[in-house]
């Protein structure tokens, strides 16, 4: 009962935090402008973005299947891919729960031991973290003046009242601190450090055990290319963002990727704040930047949810065919 209550409290906190930050950002927004822009959105580029989202999920599923091979575990490609669809949809409700759900799916449908599949996620996350760090370094280095202006104005030059930005930052930092505190309570500090170093080494060494380690690296690059494209292509939805540069897209992308660390559903709130603030620096009006962030985040969240529902249906079909 206590565990259920704790999960309910965490979920409620996540939803309320995201909703409150969104309220701060959009409380003075004329939503008729969002509707007008939505009707004029270029649907070709929306279709291209959707394809990039689907491809990123498919490749991630195949990469996970590859990571399980050294353990002599061989889930089907369909189950691996569908587990990714479900995981991302689950994260929309409860942040970070997707990692557990995908392992549960592999255990339920392909008899892959939960503990072993969960262990492979260490390698995945380590490699993905290194990619994010590399992309962030490149983006900040190439767009240093914009980055410094964002740091200097964050919380001041933001949509709505000036105090709103400070509130968003304070809430985001507080939420991350609470998340870290909860984690630290479950594990002593030095034990955590030792465990991290050990898993880091084991995770990297596990790549050497793969027969096709080069394929794992290639798939990782493909995943992050798709992630970037599903954001960058959104610039071509509207006339007011179509002239933003590739480098602007890279800085906005990494800023959004970092913002989703805040425990809100799909980064709702902090992601909008980061994207809007930086777009304003690039010369996009506060209103247009707000419209862009709202439509892009909402439509991509909807796509992820639909893919999750699709995957659950496909998994049920697989379950029935297995019983027969």
Inside any domain, residue 263:
yes
| Res 81: pLDDT | 96
pLDDT digits (tens, 9 = 90+) for 209-249: 677 778 888 999 999 999 999 999 999 999 999 999 999 99
Number of domains present in the structure of the chain:
1
| Res 190: pLDDT | 46
| Residues 268 and 297: beta-carbon distance below 8 Å | yes
Inside any domain, residue 149:
yes
pTM above 0.75, yes or no: yes
pLDDT digits (tens, 9 = 90+) for 151-182: 766 544 444 445 555 566 666 556 656 665 55
Which residues constitute the domain of residue 225? 31-323
| Residues 231 and 253: beta-carbon distance below 8 Å | yes
Residue 31: CB partners within 8 Å, gap ≥ 6? Answer: none
Is the confidence at residue 262, as pLDDT, over 90? no
Backbone conformation region of residue 43, classed left if phi is above 0, alpha if psi is from -120 to 50, else beta:
alpha
Inside any domain, residue 1:
no
Residue recorded with tokens 């050990």: 198
Inside any domain, residue 218:
yes
| Res 69: pLDDT | 86
- Assigned token pair, 85: 């669809």
Tell me the pLDDT of the chain averaged across its residues.
82
Is the confidence at residue 79, as pLDDT, over 80? yes
Inside any domain, residue 12:
no
| Residues 268 and 22: beta-carbon distance below 8 Å | yes
Residue 136: CB partners within 8 Å, gap ≥ 6? Answer: 254, 257, 258
Inside any domain, residue 20:
no
Q: Is 41 strand, coil or helix?
A: coil
| Res 25: pLDDT | 87
| Res 206: pLDDT | 58
Is the confidence at residue 120, as pLDDT, over 50? yes
Inside any domain, residue 261:
yes
| Residues 308 and 86: beta-carbon distance below 8 Å | yes
Top-confidence range, 7-16, 32-41, 139-148, 263-272:
32-41
Inside any domain, residue 15:
no
d(CA 297, CA 311): 21
Listing DSSP states for 20-32 in one string gives HHHHHHHTT--HH
Q: How confident is the model at residue 295 (pLDDT cuts 50, 70, 90)?
A: very high
| Res 100: pLDDT | 85
| Dihedral over alpha carbons 46, 50, 55, 60 (to 10 degrees) | 120
Q: How confident is the model at residue 186 (pLDDT cuts 50, 70, 90)?
A: low
* pLDDT, greater one: 63 or 173: 63
pLDDT digits (tens, 9 = 90+) for 122-140: 778 888 888 998 999 999 9
């Amino acid at each position: 009962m206590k565990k259920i209550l704790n999960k309910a409290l965490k979920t409620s906190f996540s939803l309320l935090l995201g909703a409150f930050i969104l309220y701060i950002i959009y409380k003075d927004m004329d939503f008729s402008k969002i509707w007008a822009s939505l009707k004029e959105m270029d649907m070709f580029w929306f279709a291209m973005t959707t394809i990039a989202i689907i491809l990123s999920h498919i490749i991630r599923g195949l990469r996970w299947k590859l990571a399980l091979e050294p353990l002599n575990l061989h889930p089907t490609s369909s189950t691996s891919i569908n587990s990714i669809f479900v995981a991302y949809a689950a994260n929309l409700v409860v942040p970070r729960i997707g990692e557990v759900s995908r392992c549960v799916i592999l255990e339920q449908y392909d008899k892959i031991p939960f503990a072993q599949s969960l262990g492979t996620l260490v390698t995945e996350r380590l490699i993905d973290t290194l990619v994010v760090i590399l992309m962030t370094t490149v983006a900040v280095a190439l767009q240093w003046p914009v980055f410094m202006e964002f740091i200097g104005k964050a919380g001041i030059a933001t949509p709505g009242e000036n105090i709103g930005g400070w509130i968003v930052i304070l809430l985001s930092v507080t939420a991350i601190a609470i998340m870290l505190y909860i984690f630290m309570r479950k594990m002593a500090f030095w034990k955590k450090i030792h465990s991290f170093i050990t898993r880091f080494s084991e995770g990297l060494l596990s790549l050497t055990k793969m027969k096709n380690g080069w394929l794992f690296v290639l798939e990782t690059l493909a995943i992050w290319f798709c992630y970037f494209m599903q954001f960058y292509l959104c610039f071509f939805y509207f006339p007011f963002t179509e002239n933003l540069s590739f480098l602007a897209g890279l800085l906005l992308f990494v800023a959004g990727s970092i913002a989703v660390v805040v425990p809100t559903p799909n980064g709702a709130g902090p992601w909008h704040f980061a994207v809007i603030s930086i777009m304003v620096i690039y010369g996009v009006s506060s209103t247009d930047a707000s419209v862009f962030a709202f439509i892009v985040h909402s439509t991509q969240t909807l796509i992820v949810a639909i893919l999750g529902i699709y995957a659950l249906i496909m998994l049920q079909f697989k379950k029935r065919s297995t019983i027969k």
